[in-house]
Chain A
Amino acid sequence: MIDHWIGHYHRGPDTVVSRLPASLKLGVALAIIAGTVLAPPRAAGWYLAVAAALAGAVILSRMPMRFLLKRLAWLSPLVLGVAVANVFQPGGRGNWPTVAVKSMLCLATIITVSNTTPFSHILRVLRAVRVPALLITTLALMHRYLFVLAEEAERMRRARTSRLFTRPRRARWRLLSTVVGQLFVRASERAERIYGAMCARGWK
């Protein structure tokens, strides 16, 4: 339920794409994104090639098409905003179709990679390219407890609604902030317990 709520398609089927090494997938994705961002506005050939490659990867990975389209729709307010801004622009450069195509392709690339690669594999690649250890530890801990805390927030929300008969209008924000504040308190208490557990396992 949480996965659906956050909008992340958690673990896909075991396919050719998901078995590829994470470093290869990330490298190719980075090359595609860099190439797309840096491509001149009228490089239709490049855009078509990227789109074809992505379509192939999506079909091979058996990712639900609806999921991909739903995520792409998130971009539309931004693209629409740029389109409106271009109308009011004095010179009328009108580059929003290019911006729209570029951002759609990049977004589809990263969605394909992130949903066929476990996050721990991405972390392993980051460690291999010498990202500082402190950042990796923080990333790993965040990823581990992300869903735990999201569930905790949901439990607190449910407990609150079950105890309140009326919908308090004026105190609503104060109630919700108490939930968020309590979430921080619980997170830091959990951090203390985790530190104890890490020390017990020989972490330095």
Chain B
Amino acid sequence: MHIPDGFIDGKTAAATALLSAAGVGLALRQVRRRLPPRRVPLLGLAAAFLFAAQMVNFPVAAGVSGHLIGGVLVAALLGPSAAVVVLTTVLIVQCFLFADGGVLALGANVFNMALVGAVGGCAIYHGVRRGWPGRRGQVAAVAFAGWCSTVLAATCCAGQLAWSGTVAWSAAFPALTGTHMIIGVGEGLISALVLLAVLRARPDLASEPGDAASPGRGGELVRYGLLAALGLALFVAPFACPWPDGLESVAARLGFEHRAAPPAIAAPAADYQAPGVSWAVGATALAGAAGTVIVFGLAGLLAWSLVPRPEEKARAGKP
């Protein structure tokens, strides 16, 4: 989902760069204040780990394979602010060393994957954990949050491409969000399995490093939430409002409707296509809503089947 240079225009690049700079600045300040110096090298190592982990291929079917994206996993293991720093580091190295993702698009990529993907996923993770404590809840939460973060980041990416005028929202949203609803299932599953493996090997590593700092977490997440909401209001909201009048009215208000006006020849076709296109957008949104419920159920089932019941473990540990 790395956006290369040339796919987004100047205004999108500038807006996302500003939002990302604010978010990364906030994350660095939080980390400097809260993270004990003992754990500072862990940020670099976690970034290197994420990079190496992304090269482990999970076979899906018929030659297709996927890999971990890992934003939510890192956020669950290290906390949201550390995850933002780690993901930003990974994105900078991928951009400057491997030319993966554009330089001017770096702000957009950081916004999508670190601020919306990882922090948004982290908020969902903590929300689920609050309602479902224990190890089972933790595994279910990371699986569900992994799916949500992938879909959220893809929706943001579609919004940026549409705002730049590269691809119309009616094409970008179903294509990107639709595929990532499938990719997200793999991401959620891998995140849960990896978290479980870490819990088995070193339970202390996965047991909420931020617990001591938890009083501040609410405020921390709220500040990231404000930044993410600002971005979503820019890229996604204009398109997601009641379709298609919302977009037209926004276009008219901002005075750029003439740019969107199709050439005279295509006029009848454009009129004809609009309902079909909005149908695809509506169907994707509906699938997303239904998918959220289904995936939550699946995450619960996964945790149920993978994690032994606490009583059994206590009984097994007794003799």
Contacts and interface: CB of A to CB of B under 8 A. Distances in A.
B98 A177 contact: no
Interface string B51-67: 11101101100000000
A119 B95 CA distance: 12
Contacts of A102: 5-6
A15 interface: no
Could you tell me the dominant secondary structure of chain B's interface residues?
Answer: helix
Contacts of A100: 6
B18 interface: no
A71 B94 CA distance: 13
B262 interface: yes
Interface string B200-213: 11100100000000
Contacts of B45: 141-142, 145, 149, 187-188, 190-191, 194
B214 interface: no
Contact of B201 (A144, A149, A172, A182): A182
Interface of B: 4-10, 13, 24-25, 28, 31-32, 37-49, 51-53, 55-56, 58-59, 68, 77, 85-86, 88-90, 92-93, 95-99, 102-104, 165-168, 170-172, 175, 189-190, 193-198, 200-202, 205, 260-263, 266, 269-270, 273-274, 277
Given A92-B266, A182-B197, 20 more contacts: A6-B55, A8-B98, A37-B6, A37-B9, A37-B10, A78-B4, A85-B175, A93-B165, A114-B99, A134-B40, A138-B85, A141-B48, A146-B48, A152-B52, A153-B55, A176-B58, A180-B53, A181-B193, A183-B56, A184-B198
Interface of A: 5-8, 29-30, 33-34, 36-38, 71, 75, 78, 81-82, 85-86, 88-93, 95, 99-107, 110-111, 114, 119, 122, 132, 134-135, 137-146, 148-150, 152-153, 157, 172-174, 176-185, 187-188, 190-192, 194-195, 198
